[in-house]
Structure 1
């Protein structure tokens, strides 16, 4: 919870706690909370807020790479862990953080930080990064980016994807089939949704598109986004409807 799709960077501490409490009330799953701050002090404050809100339901926190220098990231994570004792999912997402770091540096960081329990790899080409991470660490590595590279990432050794998509059940079906060893089924589960996945991932308006599609599916009551995010463009209304009609038709046929 509290990732990019959750607009966590636009929420205050009270709102973040409300989101976490709501999730805890409606799910029995262990929870990983996203931490938006890239400075240690504010990140620790976010973690303390999540720990106070969730207690033992909080399994880990997801912290972004905050420097292009591996030693800086190591010291940053060690400071956070020393203060919070929380297991950390390390997120490499340059589009969000503005920070680019090599995969070899990511491997170095994980080896110096045994409390890192997983990696979320969102630096394209993701399949290359995931293949190198899984070959050189024992950690679970997850993809993201709306599921655009999910099949390639699974082939490269990913454990799945942590990402927003207006049909999350399609991602679940794909990963579940893959874990059963049914690669052809996994591909068949995802392929009908690929045009919609690409439609959602348009730069600058991806969040608004996804929220509008959730609204049209009857899952959200409101598709509003918080500033500075861009609103859903009305010019895409008919195209969005066509995409939804296509995937719903495919679901019925299958």
Structure 2
């Protein structure tokens, strides 16, 4: 089960599709195995970048079962966010029965005010009981801002074990939350950064316990955290800066998932870059720009050398 002591790199998995839009089960397996080999300490599926709303209930559970089968024992978190509690309850129950380590919840759009957000999320936590759960704080996606005192109130639930901290700017928020935990104003939960890894070095140095993102080179995330843990900050920043142009390109609202899937398909991690309709497709010009970034990356980080030879 997922606990508040979790650390490391939890990779957000995309959902692989065949060119006709059906679930690519083979790629789901190879993708999972590739992330395990890259050094991930956990996996998250059916998140915002997992195209969860485009899957029906049976497709979602099929993906859950495939990932669990190939995860090598790593904890798997299943995103169960939905506008209402009934589908959350159903997916959480089935996922936990299948062997998931916990679930992730984000508030829906349309909530107004701290009291409304707190009440809705407390109801969601009850709906997914008895599963351990991750609170996703991502106001850029849903328009719901959760101040530290609301997060602390939600963390009082013993089953709330992790915060995916994606407010932006959010570094001072991480610092505030860590201070509240230290002073006893808030129960300890693991804090994982997100936002595509854009602020991974700073989040780590502010005390984040890990990162939960789907950047197409998770090996870099693992290495960067290790370098920072060893006090090799300049080396960590050199590595990060080599990847930053691609991280930035992957992080474009609306288009980023298509970029990520294109890179993953070029790496052989998934077979096809398909984004299920309705969704964006990369233009020839955009693919050329990404290829240029990959070629430059290969000159600075050996992890991308295979792409340079293609």
TM-score in terms of structure 1 length:
0.89
Pick from 83, 97, 102 the counterpart of residue 60 of structure 1: 102
* Equivalent residue, structure 1, for 2:214: 164
SS in 2 for 1:204: coil
* Equivalent residue, structure 2, for 1:44: 89
| 1:133 and 2:133 aligned | no
* Equivalent residue, structure 1, for 2:17: none
Encode CA deviations 1:33-73: one digit per residue, 9 max, x unaligned.
11121422221122122123x2xx32211101344444444
Cα distance in 2, alignment partners of residues 199 and 141 from structure 1: 25
- Aligned CA distance change for structure 1 residues 78 and 199 (closer, same or farther; 3 Å): closer
Shift in Å, 1:199 = 1.3
The count of residues paired between Structure 1 and Structure 2 equals 250
Shift in Å, 1:76 = 3.4
TM-score in terms of structure 2 length:
0.74
Q: Is the 8 A contact 2:117 2:144 kept in 1?
A: no
Shift in Å, 1:223 = 0.6
- Aligned CA distance change for structure 1 residues 250 and 123 (closer, same or farther; 3 Å): same
- 5+ long unaligned stretches in structure 1: none
Pick from 191, 198, 202 the counterpart of residue 148 of structure 1: 198
Task: Please report the RMSD computed on the Cα atoms of aligned residues, expressed in angstroms.
Answer: 2.1
* Equivalent residue, structure 2, for 1:198: 248
Q: Which moved more, 1:225-234 or 1:182-191?
A: 182-191
Cα distance in 1, alignment partners of residues 210 and 83 from structure 2: 25
Q: Is the 8 A contact 1:62 1:88 kept in 2?
A: yes
Cα distance in 2, alignment partners of residues 34 and 123 from structure 1: 18
Encode CA deviations 1:79-122: one digit per residue, 9 max, x unaligned.
344442111110011232232332332233323x2321010011
* Equivalent residue, structure 2, for 1:121: 165
- The answer to which structure, 1 or 2, has the higher relative contact order (CA under 8 A, 6+ apart) is 2
Cα distance in 2, alignment partners of residues 104 and 79 from structure 1: 18
Cα distance in 2, alignment partners of residues 110 and 241 from structure 1: 43
- 5+ long unaligned stretches in structure 2: 1-44, 182-187, 306-310
SS in 1 for 2:164: strand
SS in 2 for 1:141: strand
Q: Is the 8 A contact 1:33 1:60 kept in 2?
A: yes
| 1:85 and 2:119 aligned | no
Question: Greater helix percent: which structure?
Answer: 1
Cα distance in 2, alignment partners of residues 207 and 61 from structure 1: 22
Cα distance in 2, alignment partners of residues 103 and 227 from structure 1: 37
